[in-house]
Amino acid sequence: MVVDIVTDTAQTFEGTALTGRLGAVEEFYSAEIKHGRRFGEDSGLLLYVGVDQYHGAGQDDAPLVYGVEMENQ
């Protein structure tokens, strides 16, 4: 398996991006904003802010299952 992680820098990202996500079963909300600006070939500024709230799935949607029988112990 190959994992290719690309990190944004002031040289690789220019402009403004706003991202919002939400999950129904997992019950999460997140928002991100980033702004990048190049000043020259070797200089720039990248600002990033992200917030989230993660409640997780309920017991009915994600029950706890033990790998061994826990009764009579």
| pLDDT confidence of residue 70 | 63
pLDDT band per the 50, 70, 90 thresholds, residue 21: very high
Residues 22-57: pLDDT tens digits? 988 778 899 999 999 999 988 999 999 999 998 877
Residues 54-73: pLDDT tens digits? 887 777 777 777 777 666 65
Residue of 14, 20, 72 whose CA lies nearest to 47:
14
Q: Is the pLDDT of residue 18 over 90?
A: yes
Query: Quick check: is 46 in a domain?
Result: yes
Query: Quick check: is 65 in a domain?
Result: no
Number of domains in the chain: 1
Domain encompassing residue 37:
15-54
What pTM was estimated for this model as a whole? 0.63
| pLDDT confidence of residue 19 | 96
